[in-house]
Amino acid sequence: MSEQTEHRKWELPDADPRALIKAVAKAGRIMVAMGTDRLRHERLGEIAEVIAKGDGLCIRGELQDAVIYPAKACTVTLDTSTKMKDKIYPRLDFRDQDDVRFLSITGLEGEDAFLDCLEGVARRPVTASAPPAETGEPADVPEDDAALVLLDSYHRAETPICIEYRCAGGMQKWSGTIERLMAMGGYVNVIQPGFHLHLEAGLVHDWQTAGDIHQARDKEGAPIGLTVSLA
């Protein structure tokens, strides 16, 4: 579990999101997380190369596989307040025109390695916001949760699959066999070396299935950007 140090958060008003992504890609092991607080698709590892392709940046590495569209970011903030076991994990948050975070990049090598890559980038302090209200213990994940049922079937069968997430700001994917699947904290969680998936219970209402391709839908029947298929 993480604890919050003294609030240290800055807006980077003049920074080019494309340049920021290229810069922190050199910070060693990082976590590229796409999605919202209800759905997080995370890849963890070193980035071998960043390739410009049209409006996107292709992120490649042994444990990295994403395409990011930096122009979708209207604001970028730097947050160095998260601390785990005496180690600070600095993070860049990219938000869209609706002020929704669609991408975050976290340095896993500590504060210095990450911030050295941002040397010279102008910062403007952001006023600390009030901590979120306590909501009590998270609800249990029902055994019939649509996401849990599908992922557990592949987990038990040890079937290689591809889990892909797409949004307006980019796409990211992982392929492999699920080794660890946990329903806890109100989320369905896949925990792998180099990959984490966190899905809020009930977010996936059902799956639209065509052959071996499953597209997650919410309770209104709209796709949420998550696809599970055979690898």
Same domain, residue pair 154 and 57? no
Tally the domains of the chain: 2
Same domain, residue pair 118 and 207? no
The CATH number covering residue 107 comes to: 3.40.1570.10
Q: Which domain holds residue 189?
A: 146-230
Point out the domain boundary residue: 62, 92, 125.
125
Rounded Cα–Cα distance for residues 58 and 66 (Å): 6
pLDDT at residue 1 in the model: 34
Phi, psi of 114 (to 5 degrees): -75, -50
Instruction: Give the residue ranges of DSSP H helices in the chain.
Output: 17-24, 111-116, 146-157
The CATH number covering residue 194 comes to: 3.40.1570.20
Same domain, residue pair 120 and 29? yes
Query: Are the C-beta atoms of residues 164 and 34 closer than 8 Å to each other?
Result: no
pLDDT at residue 4 in the model: 43
Rounded Cα–Cα distance for residues 204 and 225 (Å): 11
Same domain, residue pair 191 and 160? yes
Q: How many residues does the chain have?
A: 231
Averages of pLDDT over runs of 10 residues in the chain (231 residues) are: 59 96 98 97 98 97 98 97 92 97 97 96 84 70 97 98 98 98 97 97 98 98 98 95
pLDDT at residue 100 in the model: 96
pLDDT at residue 130 in the model: 62
pLDDT at residue 113 in the model: 96
pLDDT at residue 138 in the model: 77
Same domain, residue pair 102 and 194? no
Give Cβ neighbours of residue 218 (< 8 Å, ≥ 6 apart): 203, 204, 205, 224
pLDDT at residue 208 in the model: 98
